Chain A
Amino acid sequence: MRPMATITLSALVMSLVQLTACDPVHDDAIAALGPEAPGVRQGPLHRPGQPCLLCHDGAIGDPQRFTVAGTVYETAGELVAAAGTTVVLTDAKGTGTQLTTNAAGNFYATPGQYDPTFPIQVVVQAPGRPAVRMQTLIAGNGTVEPNGGCASCHFDPAGSDSPGHVCLALDDGGTPP
């Protein structure tokens, strides 16, 4: 009887694992990101500019969940990381936090650090430079991923469906809209 129960439990668990792993749209979106960049290990500096929460979504077998994560670049025209930039987040309840971008321009928050109620507002500010306020709301309900992940909307090239990557300044030195 005991082995039978074990088999049943195993089958149930396997079914659940298969269910969680069976989202072809999600899987295709992750596959489209491609492999890790040569010489960059998985960790805080990897995959700048990519939609972090595609993988960092807390699903079984995936890496640690992030609630908010992204990459800040210096300008609209080039992919130069804006390291040391402060990212100020405020959620719908007025709860805020400040994150700092690392050497790759990446920033992220785990649920333990910041678990916002969407929509959230964001301001980015580099030392000695004017603050840049995002003029619209981050609603937090991605079509493919739960948002929080800047690059799911802020991807390149800029177009009718994307403002382009997050940056501190336009190429002419102006502030992003």
Chain B
Amino acid sequence: MRAGLLHVYTALSPLVLLAGCSIPPSDAQYTPPALPDQESFPPVAQLLVVRCGSLDCHGTPGRNLRLYGSAGLRWSPSDRPLVPLCDTQDEIAQDYESVVGLEPATMSAVVAAGGADPQQLTMVRKARGTESHKGGQIWSQGDASDTCLTSWLGGDTDAAACASAMSGVLPGGPSNPLMQCLSAADASAD
């Protein structure tokens, strides 16, 4: 009789264990995070590198938002700042990961809402100077740089705003060699 009970317990144990596992109800669904568009990210990445990614700021491995690009830290060990002149595909991909990986849940919420309230994101607040930022206020809400970033978050990247923002801050303005990279990115996207 005792041996019989033991057999019953032995047979039931795996079932109990299985039942204890977290099995979602049949109507549950996994909701993938809403990510901003990667295809239209290059002009945004270029602006971020120019405005935020210099070697003394976010072009430093120790920063949470680490940016790679021509105007700062290069991804390839054989590359140099400004050589090659334009951000590489690898660098743009790394920058995308940096940006979307900072606050994934908040990023998903902002993107899912069509970019309606981008100020939920720390990087938007820091750039606008509405949250403490070692680099101080980088741009203002609604200016070309801010529009470049927030339009991308809203799913409709304003590449002209990105170009205008870069031209407005780079030494030499439109004649700065880095401006060529924006048209190169446009051409490769077409």
Contact = CB atoms under 8 A, between A and B. Distances in A.
Give the most central of B75, B81, B135: most A CB within 10 Å: B81
Contacts of A141: 56-57, 134-136
Interface string A121-144: 101000000000111111111110
B56 A140 contact: yes
A136 B171 contact: yes
Interface in A33-77: none
Contacts, number: 81
Nearest to A118: B136
B125 interface: no
Contacts of A153: 54-56
Contacts of B51: 137
Interface string B58-80: 01101100000001111111111
B109 interface: no
Interface stretch (B20-28, B38-46, B99-107, B172-180): B172-180
Nearest to B57: A139
B83 interface: yes
Q: Is the interface of B mostly helix, strand, loop or mixed?
A: loop
Q: Is the interface of A mostly helix, strand, loop or mixed?
A: loop
B121 interface: no
Given A141-B136, A143-B60, A160-B74, A135 B83 contact: no
Nearest to A163: B81
B170 interface: yes
Contact of B62 (A143, A160, A162): A143
Interface string A3-38: 000000000000000000000000000000000000
Give the most central of A123, A140, A163, A177: most B CB within 10 Å: A177
Given A135-B178, A143-B56, A160 B172 contact: no
Given A136-B71, A141-B136, A160 B54 contact: no
Given A141-B134, A141-B135, A143-B60, A135 B77 contact: no
6 contacts: A135-B178, A136-B71, A137-B169, A139-B56, A141-B134, A159-B77
Interface of A: 118-119, 121, 123, 133-143, 147, 152-153, 158-164, 177
